[in-house]
Structure 1
Amino acid sequence: MNQNYIIPNQWSIIEEGFEAERVRSSESLFSLGNGAMGQRANFEENYTGETFQGSYIAGIYYPDKTRVGWWKNGYPEYFAKVLNAPNWIGIHVEINNEILDLATCKSIENYRRELNMKEGWYKRSFEAVMIDETRVKVESIRFLSLQIDELGAIRYSVTPLNREAKITFIPYIDAGIENEDTNWEEKFWEPIEILDDELCTSVTARTLKTRFEACTYMHNELAIDSIPINIDKTIHSKVDYIAHSYTHLVAVNSTFTLFKYGGYVTSLNHDRTTLREAAEKVVSIALEAGFDKLLAQQREAWDAIWQMADITIEGDVKAQQGIRFNIFQLNQTYLGKDDRLNIGPKGFTGEKYGGSTYWDTEAYCIPFYMATKDEKVARSLLKYRYNHLEKAIENAEKLGFTNGAALYPMVTMNGEECHNEWEITFEEIHRNGAISFAIFNYLRYTGDYSYIPEMGLEVMIGIARFWHQRASFSTFQNKYVILGVTGPNEYENNVNNNWYTNYIAQWCIQFAIEHIEKVKTGFPEDYSRIMGVTKLTENEIQQWIKVAENMYFPYSEKHGIFLQQDGFLDKPQITVSDLPKEQRPINQKWSWDRILRSPYIKQADVLQGFYFFEDHFSKDLLERHFDFYEPFTVHESSLSPCVHSIQAAILGRMEQAYTFYLRTSRLDLDDYNKEVHEGLHITSMAGTWMSIVEGFGGMRIKEDKMSFEPRIPMQWEAYSFKVNFRGVIVKLTVKHGKVKLLLEGNMPINVILNGEEITLHPNKELEC
């Protein structure tokens, strides 16, 4: 049974009533981020119950030594871990010398927390009865500034309700933290320096091995009933910790408030010798503005994001809440300001998976960022891969490939593979195809060909070389085959001729050859430079062509379908509908051996190919494959429901499309996979956006124009979204029996609506 404690609301995530067993899940769901740093929704005050404390800084990682039972040549030496960063949000609170702790209070009433997605803040309030019967009301609100991305702010207030109380606030910085996800239980940070003065208190620490430095800072201010006050502080410190203690006798119904400003400045963005100075500058800016103005700026910044990114749904609050939660978390994770960064699968909400980049970025996230932000953001994501091309070539060399063949990592922080499961590291090579597909997708959407000669073609050549070498000729099949792989369906390992892998390998080679010729003709200087760097010859290209033209694809004449892999039909053909519910999810109930021998599919595999290459196949062929494979799919990957929702919509199966949409949009809110306590599924959230825009809205690029084939679930009264397309913004509004299009721009453009080309004029709504 799915969790259902999140209260439906169009703009907020709301929890009412304190339940200890929900704390870790809510810490994930109410997480905050601003693209540069983030944190789980841990309590500011002490909590001795079960909790997962987590704060994270974008781009800072630790190479945790790989731990495997049996070492194999080619294994990465380390698994790059997202680092749990020093904790700056902590505030010990004492009421009449008793520690405020929701795990030990006599009672907790009127507990409520809210994540306001429209304005970008997190608020928590409750009444606690202490052991001595003192009743207090506590309210905290905090946010991570989008405008000043090294700054966070907290307003923490305590109000005695039945008697005066001696209240002590002890705000602190703690650099003695550990990762929950660690192979060897090593400490990842070493303290360097603690400094304290009236403007800024800081702890500077350095990561072991990677030698990143982070100055974690705080500044505290106090008020009684909104009137600033000064209280002498007591300082507590040790090698990796510093705290200030403030005590005040507070009258009944008076409110004692602590304003805490804090965050990180790091050696990623500053000279190591100036970190403290940079922290002081941020504090000065914060104090000049004050909490209320900073919060107002936060509202304005989020309003600007929502003006472009919002999707409205009328008549279905849970669906509306779901899509906004997904859009909100994507923007908290990545804003496109820094091309050294990428979108991690857990973002700033947890540590599982490690690394900051998976194929999810290219396969799922780039369409969202292309359409809701300036195309430069998507270009930055592609530049990230170009910057790592040399490492991708090194990764391939470690596995025995030569001549500049490139294998992009399954998991990475710096371009080097850091995933240590053999069935993923060595075999889930289809990730390479997603890189080339993202280049194609970017070109198709933006029309910006300049990326190809500047950066993209070198990446495409490295990938084509990999596929050429990875394929081997089978005298039995008289075709080129690709052996020993794991396709998108990770519930099959070490299979031969995964159809999706073979298909995207063939396409990558053909795509590279097509653009080698275009660059040769249209950009001769770039062509000369690229040929000089890659040493590509005509003879090598001919070898590529031979492989691509003679690629083997497993096929069933009986069923008229491409087979997911050789031998798929050898498995027992028992569909998910015949699988007892008590055995779900199978990844938590079954042995891995049993899963591998089963026909069950974790996520779209063959259907992933039909999604990417939709124009290559007829709708009848899609329907045949959807009807065959979806009944075997358990959707135990967060990336699965969105693809199926889009394809169900194409087939006109709106009830099924809606069901899949609701699952992908509320995957974490309703905890479908029973793992939200580990963190959110950030990258799959872009798939939720695609479910509406590409699925229900039917948005495609056809004939170099934007095309729509809108559909609407019966559960909705209307929906609308905007897309930024080549410098203009198009808004689509869909109601039952009615479609509206509005162009924001200076020049008319032609679009295709339900197969018919029409002209949109600036700021004139067209109704069809």
Structure 2
Amino acid sequence: MNQDYIKADEWSIIEEGFDLKRVKSSESLFSIGNGAMGQRANFEETYSGDTFQGSYIAGVYYPDKTRVGWWKNGYPEYFAKVLNAPNWIGIKVLINGVELDLATCKKVSAFKRELNMKEGCYRRSFDAVLSNNAMVHVDVTRFLSLDLDEVGAIAFKVTVENMDAEVSFFPFLDSGITNEDSNWDDKFWNTTKVSSSRNRAFIEAHTMKTNFRTCTFMQANLDYNGESISGSLEEQHDNFVSLKFSKKAKKGEQLSLTKFGGYTVSRNHPENELVHAANEVLDKASNFGFTKLMEKQKESWAKIWDMSDIVIQGDIKAQQGIRFNIFQLNQTYLGTDSRLNIGPKGFTGEKYGGSTYWDTEAYCIPFYMATKDEMVARKLLKYRYNHLEKAIENAKKLGFVNGAALYPMVTMNGEECHNEWEITFEEIHRNGAIAFAIYNYYRYTGDYSYIPEMGLEVLIGIARFWHQRANFSGYRNKFVILGVTGPNEYENNVNNNWYTNYLAQWCIHFTLEQLSKVKEGYQKDYNRIIGKTNLTPSECESWKKVADNIYFPFSEEHGVYLQQDGFLDKDLVKVADLDKTERPINQKWSWDRILRSPYIKQADVLQGFYFFEENFTLKELENHFDFYEPFTVHESSLSPCVHSIQAAKLGRMEQAYTFYLRTSRLDLDDYNKEVEEGLHITSMAGTWMSIVEGFGGMRVINDMLSFEPRIPKQWASYSFKVNFRNRILKVKVSQDEIHIELKGDEELVILINGKEYKLALNTTTII
């Protein structure tokens, strides 16, 4: 049974009632971020119950040494860990000397959390009876500023309802923190200096090995009936500093502590000026004040929502789901820094190392291309170009030569840091996703300049890898690719995974096409690239020979491409015939049993049909969907969205709707029973795709934007905006009509259900 305690609401995530057993899940669901930092929704006050503490700084990581039972040549030396950063949110609270702790209170009532996605803030309130019988009401508001992205703000308000009481606040900073996820329990942080000045405090620390220098800072102010209460230094030692604000409050009167905090980092400032930079940003925050900074937060989120919102009429749970996904994507990455990327857990947990996966290219780039300026997506592509030399080094470690590039499965700095051999060595399809993203970016934006400037070098490195990774089979008289893991990670070390082989063929052909195009139209860039890569015509001919003669496993009996050699040797029992108590199989079965089963973790062959649907007929899609989906357990967050898009294309709207709900509410309803570890950020872009590409049917066909809209029967209407080549289109689909409005500098011809329509500026076209 899925969790169901989150209240349905169009704009907010709401929890009512305090339950010790769901604290860690809620810490994930109510996480906040601003692209530069983020944090789980841990309580500010002391909490002695079970909790997963987590504050994270974008781009700051630790190279945790790989831990494996048997070392193999080519293993990465380390697994990059996203780091639990020094804690700045803490506020210890005493009421007549007794500590406020929801785990030990006599009674907790009227507990409510709300993540207001429209405004970008997190609120919490409750009533509690302490062991000394003091009855307190607490209201807390917290947000991470988009305008001052090094600053977070907290308003912590306490009212003692039944007596006069001495209320003491101890806002603190703590760098004595640990990671939940650690291979060797190494010390990740070294604190170098703790200091304070009046109502401000600072902890200077750096990461071990990577030597990221940080200053964690805070400023606190206490207000009582309009009077500002002075604080003092309470405690200061090796990795901790706290201030004290205390006031005897009359029964029923409120005390309000405001705390600004955050991080300055050597990635953005000279390392000897971090405290100075912290003081400067605290000055700015102070000049705004909590209320004004909160108003600016609302304004900034309003601008984001104006472009990225999807409005669904008639289905609150579906509406809440898509907004939650869009909100978390924007909290994680805003495109302001090309050194950053989109980790699969974002700022909500530590699993997966918090690094960059192929998810960015396959799922996230379409969302950022369409909801922001195209330069945001270009920065994500530039990120890979900047790591090309590392990708060549990664391939060289595995025995590849001549500039062949293998992009990492997991990375922070371009170097592979995933230490499971079946992933590191074998899940090489990630290379193809990066090449596809280059194609997809050009296809959608019309901006070809990336390819001669940067992309072609990436494509050459990838084509060289595929050429060397394939080998000629005399038995088949074809080129084969052996020993791989496809997107379906419930199959390891297989031969001729269809998706991998198809990507290899496509990548080579696409690279050869771009070489001709750049040679013809960008001679200077072409000469530079040929000189840099030493590419020769004979090498290109050798690539083409591989691509033209690659082997694809196919079943004449079933009329489908086989996921890999030997797939039909399996006991083909469909998922519907599995005992429900056996699910999810990744938690109930041994790995040996999973590997021998026909069960598919996520879209594999169907991932290829999603990427390259124009190369296959609708009947071919239908055949493959009907063959593979019944064996798919969807135990990857990346699976339901692809199936929703394809089900919609096939006109199977009930199935498409079911898959959409699963992808949009994957975390809210905790389908995979793991939300306490963090959210599935990158798959959230797939939720957006499920509506825009699935129900909306958005494609680029023959260089024209095209829509084939469909609508689930559960919805009265849905609408979304896309930025297509600097024109903004608003598409609204109801049960009876399609409305399309165009804004920009020039008219646009688009396709609707295969028919051309010329859209006039600032006019709504009704179809």
What percentage of residue pairs aligned between the two structures are identical?
Answer: 68
Matches within 5 A, 1:156-195: 156-195=156-195
Matches within 5 A, 1:537-616: 537-616=536-615
The answer on whether the counterparts of 1:346 and 1:679 sit within 8 Å (CA) in structure 2 is: yes
- TM-score norm. by structure 2 comes to 1.00
Letter in 1 for 2:368: Y
The answer on whether the counterparts of 2:54 and 2:349 sit within 8 Å (CA) in structure 1 is: yes
1:161-196, Cα deviation, whole Å (9 max, x unpaired): 111111110000000101100000111000011121
1:387, 1:665 → 2: CA distance? 33
Letter in 2 for 1:139: D
1:718, 1:208 → 2: CA distance? 53
For residue 481 of structure 1, report the CA deviation from its aligned partner: 0.3
The answer on whether the counterparts of 1:110 and 1:127 sit within 8 Å (CA) in structure 2 is: yes
The residue that corresponds to 1:425 in the other structure is 424
2:419, 2:284 → 1: CA distance? 44
The answer on whether the counterparts of 1:234 and 1:246 sit within 8 Å (CA) in structure 2 is: no
The residue that corresponds to 1:348 in the other structure is 347
1:238-283, Cα deviation, whole Å (9 max, x unpaired): 1011001121111111001110000000000000011010000000
1:71, 1:680 → 2: CA distance? 32
The residue that corresponds to 1:240 in the other structure is 239
The answer on whether the counterparts of 1:259 and 1:291 sit within 8 Å (CA) in structure 2 is: yes
Confirm or deny that 1:761 pairs with 2:760: yes
Matches within 5 A, 1:431-442: 431-442=430-441
1:480, 1:396 → 2: CA distance? 20
The residue that corresponds to 1:690 in the other structure is 689
Matches within 5 A, 1:345-744: 345-744=344-743
1:551, 1:228 → 2: CA distance? 77
Alignment partner of 2:666: what SS? coil
1:361-420, Cα deviation, whole Å (9 max, x unpaired): 000000000000000000000000000000000000000000000000000000000000
1:203-252, Cα deviation, whole Å (9 max, x unpaired): 01010000001100000011013x14123424201101100112111111
Confirm or deny that 1:249 pairs with 2:248: yes
1:473-531, Cα deviation, whole Å (9 max, x unpaired): 00011000000000000000000000000000000000000000000110000000000
For residue 199 of structure 1, report the CA deviation from its aligned partner: 5.7
The answer on whether the counterparts of 2:221 and 2:231 sit within 8 Å (CA) in structure 1 is: no
Q: Which runs of 5+ in 1 are unaligned?
A: none
The residue that corresponds to 1:74 in the other structure is 74
Alignment partner of 1:354: what SS? helix
The answer on whether the counterparts of 2:199 and 2:221 sit within 8 Å (CA) in structure 1 is: no
1:312-342, Cα deviation, whole Å (9 max, x unpaired): 0000000000000000000000000000000
Alignment partner of 2:217: what SS? strand
| TM-aligned CA distance change 1:514 to 1:237, over 3 Å | same
For residue 96 of structure 1, report the CA deviation from its aligned partner: 1.1
Q: Which runs of 5+ in 2 are unaligned?
A: none
1:752, 1:144 → 2: CA distance? 41
2:199, 2:433 → 1: CA distance? 49
1:476, 1:748 → 2: CA distance? 57
Letter in 1 for 2:173: I
The answer on whether the counterparts of 1:199 and 1:280 sit within 8 Å (CA) in structure 2 is: no
Letter in 1 for 2:638: L
Letter in 1 for 2:142: R
For residue 132 of structure 1, report the CA deviation from its aligned partner: 1.6
For residue 355 of structure 1, report the CA deviation from its aligned partner: 4.1
1:485, 1:552 → 2: CA distance? 14
Confirm or deny that 1:141 pairs with 2:141: yes
Alignment partner of 2:380: what SS? helix
The answer on whether the counterparts of 2:199 and 2:243 sit within 8 Å (CA) in structure 1 is: no
2:326, 2:372 → 1: CA distance? 12
1:705, 1:167 → 2: CA distance? 65
The answer on whether the counterparts of 2:221 and 2:230 sit within 8 Å (CA) in structure 1 is: no
2:68, 2:494 → 1: CA distance? 22
Alignment partner of 2:172: what SS? strand
Confirm or deny that 1:313 pairs with 2:312: yes
Alignment partner of 1:128: what SS? strand
The residue that corresponds to 1:324 in the other structure is 323
1:134-162, Cα deviation, whole Å (9 max, x unpaired): 10001100000001100000000100111
The answer on whether the counterparts of 1:199 and 1:283 sit within 8 Å (CA) in structure 2 is: no
Confirm or deny that 1:213 pairs with 2:213: yes
1:582, 1:156 → 2: CA distance? 45
Letter in 2 for 1:165: A
1:195, 1:728 → 2: CA distance? 51
The answer on whether the counterparts of 1:355 and 1:418 sit within 8 Å (CA) in structure 2 is: no
How many residues end up aligned between the 2 structures?
Answer: 767
1:166, 1:6 → 2: CA distance? 36
For residue 723 of structure 1, report the CA deviation from its aligned partner: 0.1
1:506, 1:355 → 2: CA distance? 31
Confirm or deny that 1:50 pairs with 2:57: no
1:662, 1:456 → 2: CA distance? 36
The residue that corresponds to 1:106 in the other structure is 106
The answer on whether the counterparts of 1:93 and 1:169 sit within 8 Å (CA) in structure 2 is: yes
The residue that corresponds to 2:20 in the other structure is 20
Alignment partner of 2:159: what SS? strand
For residue 114 of structure 1, report the CA deviation from its aligned partner: 0.1
For residue 50 of structure 1, report the CA deviation from its aligned partner: 0.4
The answer on whether the counterparts of 1:646 and 1:695 sit within 8 Å (CA) in structure 2 is: yes
The residue that corresponds to 1:31 in the other structure is 31
The answer on whether the counterparts of 1:564 and 1:606 sit within 8 Å (CA) in structure 2 is: yes
1:699, 1:232 → 2: CA distance? 58
The residue that corresponds to 1:298 in the other structure is 297
| TM-aligned CA distance change 1:199 to 1:273, over 3 Å | farther
1:346, 1:371 → 2: CA distance? 22
Letter in 1 for 2:378: R
Letter in 2 for 1:410: M
For residue 131 of structure 1, report the CA deviation from its aligned partner: 1.0
Alignment partner of 2:352: what SS? coil
1:632-682, Cα deviation, whole Å (9 max, x unpaired): 000000000000000000000000000000000000000000000000000
The answer on whether the counterparts of 2:198 and 2:232 sit within 8 Å (CA) in structure 1 is: no
For residue 198 of structure 1, report the CA deviation from its aligned partner: 2.3
Letter in 1 for 2:133: E
Alignment partner of 1:353: what SS? helix
Confirm or deny that 1:275 pairs with 2:274: yes
Alignment partner of 2:353: what SS? coil
